[in-house]
Chain A
């Protein structure tokens, strides 16, 4: 697919521009470790993020959202695709080291993401030390204060001595210690209890305002993503299926998969409970994804064209930035119901 066509036009406000990002993992087997198959974890993902914006990425397990996060921060090597950060292209005029300084990540498991043998202060100061920033310890203490942890009480403690919510605050402080422009939050609040999650979301909102941060916020919880994000990107089996500002996608889900994902949210209304599941079965295996539109095996609108042709992301909102990759929205696709109103 022509990835650039789906992006907003290039503009200096874009702090991150990802084009045609791809990562396939080999599945090896047998005694010789020969490659048996390829997991198409991320396949042709493109998007752009403006400075100060929060982009939410949603999707189910195997959709490639976490792989995308790790590709962005350079923790795994991409097979293909361009990453442009702050006007410079990775691998050309941008080194991985500089990218990492400008883009930091917060992980889901607050315990596994802290070295159990380092004190909290040392953990936060490590990155600043590596990058040769001045006064790493003073910086760490200052950041602890900013994420709501009293340095006098917490600096010398170890990760197992504090609660899950406090550990996630430490992880956020550790990411901020590098003075990044972008913070990638990979399910950063998902493992927390609901009451603690709200505290951390408040903190993230405060920090965004204070430091002018750009967030890429990955979560499976649509309510949380709606609360924190400006735009939402929906992934299915390694591909982007829809990308839109929150308010637009909340009122109208253009892709049938997005529609199903939204309908699967609990209703929160005891008088009006969900009666029919929006989809049957589990998401297919990303090792051998379906041909054409990858969602066609579960889509109630699927026709022959959907199994044959890969749909392209196109604007369906007349220039308001609501993009979807579905033949229903392309009158030239050959789908019998293309362009029909009110389907999705």
Chain B
């Protein structure tokens, strides 16, 4: 969806990194997110999912990056925010949770102080009030004995605990949009599921919109109500989680589901997608998945595939989108 009232509205976004070798990281990406919705951006390394998040936070190095298209968050044009407004935007309106919380937190300050300072930077409150907000946040992210944890330094906390602190820090100023960049990838399985369920609960509690970047379909299913599948800097398929899992239309989505090995019988040969993603040093002028696609035809290699709107907020960038679903 896109239009007035939506929280995020990205249209025809293209991002190119200039350098010894150009990289066309994002190619004509259009994406919308409603208030209070959780969208998983699913893709493999190099698909452009993290770049999209960084662009939304204006974190890309401006001198080496060409950005085309428009990005609106809550109606405001992201590219035109400057100066102090940018500071309020980052952390106030939109905030981010990273893959490595240990690297994102400052090792020389206590976690309480880091959260309190983030609050004070955005709101004019006293130090004591900011500290009590920090305590409240640690409680909300279900950290046991939060009073004690306030005065801990990051290195005194375990990985799962650090990610909870990171989430508390990101949510302290009640952003409308939370960007999560593979926040559970570095965690153990039993800790990962705790963090996913926590994010799900906090999203309901705070009513914010969440864009959750992941390479793991299983994680996307646990956390999101919608999924957008990315490949070579484009969205190849979008729909509700149910639609993507139960009736995937794009051959790449189907390949990813098969590669998850969830229901594969032992010893059978895997239906692997051959090859590797394209290098993206030139902007794709045909379907970027065609070289690996079992259904590719001459026209797939001749021009970009049409984007079929096969339902409300359900689209597939493939000529076979309307075809029935058997045999890949």
Contacts and interface: CB of A to CB of B under 8 A. Distances in A.
A contacts B: CB pair < 8 Å = yes
B272 A273 contact: no
B276 A165 contact: yes
A220 B270 CA distance: 19
B262 A223 contact: yes
Interface stretch (A2-10, A73-81, A193-201, A321-329): A193-201
B222 interface: yes
Contact of B189 (A261, A269, A281): A261
Nearest to B222: A266
Q: Is the interface of A mostly helix, strand, loop or mixed?
A: loop
B284 interface: no
Interface residues of B, number: 47
Given A198-B270, A260-B190, A282 B221 contact: no
B161 A282 contact: yes
B190 A266 contact: no
Given A165-B276, A281-B160, A194 B44 contact: yes
Interface in A192-229: 193-199, 201-202, 205, 220, 222-224, 226-228
B250 interface: no
B132 interface: no
A115 interface: no
A226 B292 CA distance: 27
A271 B246 CA distance: 10
Interface string B207-223: 00000000111110110
Contact of B216 (A224, A266, A270, A279): A266
B190 A193 contact: no
Interface in A248-291: 260-261, 263-271, 273-283
A220 B188 contact: yes
Contacts of A202: 269-270, 272
Interface in B256-295: 256, 258-262, 264, 266-267, 269-274, 276-277, 292
B227 to A, nearest CB: 9
B190 A279 contact: yes
B241 A270 contact: yes
Given A226-B266, A265-B218, A268-B262, A195 B44 contact: yes
A42 B144 CA distance: 30
Contacts of A227: 261, 264, 266, 270
Contacts of A142: none
B197 interface: yes
Contact of B218 (A193, A198, A268): A268
A86 interface: no
Contacts of B255: 195
Among the interface residues B189, B218, B264, which one has the most CB atoms of the partner chain A within 10 A? B189
Contact of B159 (A196, A197, A220, A282): A282
B126 interface: no
A163 interface: yes
Contacts of B196: 274
Contacts of A201: 270, 272
A263 B190 CA distance: 8
B304 interface: no
Contact of A280 (B45, B194, B272): B194
Contacts of A109: none
Contacts of B245: 268-270
Contacts of B240: 270
Contacts of B217: 194, 266, 268
A278 B191 CA distance: 9
A61 interface: yes
B88 interface: no
Interface in B192-238: 192-194, 196-197, 215-219, 221-222
B200 to A, nearest CB: 8
Nearest to B292: A195
Nearest to B255: A195
Nearest to B47: A193
A53 interface: no
B222 A224 contact: no
Contacts of B219: 266
A246 B246 CA distance: 27
B158 interface: yes
Contacts of A223: 260-262, 264
A277 B260 contact: no
B215 A193 contact: yes
Contacts of A194: 44, 215-217, 256, 259-260
A261 to B, nearest CB: 6
B18 interface: no
A303 interface: no
Among the interface residues B191, B219, B258, which one has the most CB atoms of the partner chain A within 10 A? B191
A268 B276 contact: no
A50 interface: no
Nearest to B219: A266
Given A201-B270, A223-B261, A246-B266, A60 B45 contact: no
A198 B268 CA distance: 12
Q: Please list the 9 inter-chain residue pairs (A to B) with the smallest Cβ-Cβ separation, ordered nearest first.
A: A266-B218, A198-B272, A60-B188, A282-B158, A193-B44, A195-B273, A223-B261, A194-B259, A277-B194
17 contacts: A194-B44, A194-B216, A194-B217, A194-B260, A196-B276, A199-B270, A223-B264, A266-B193, A266-B217, A266-B218, A266-B219, A267-B222, A274-B196, A274-B222, A279-B194, A283-B188, A283-B190
Given A195-B259, A273-B222, 8 more contacts: A195-B273, A220-B188, A266-B219, A267-B222, A270-B240, A270-B241, A275-B197, A283-B188
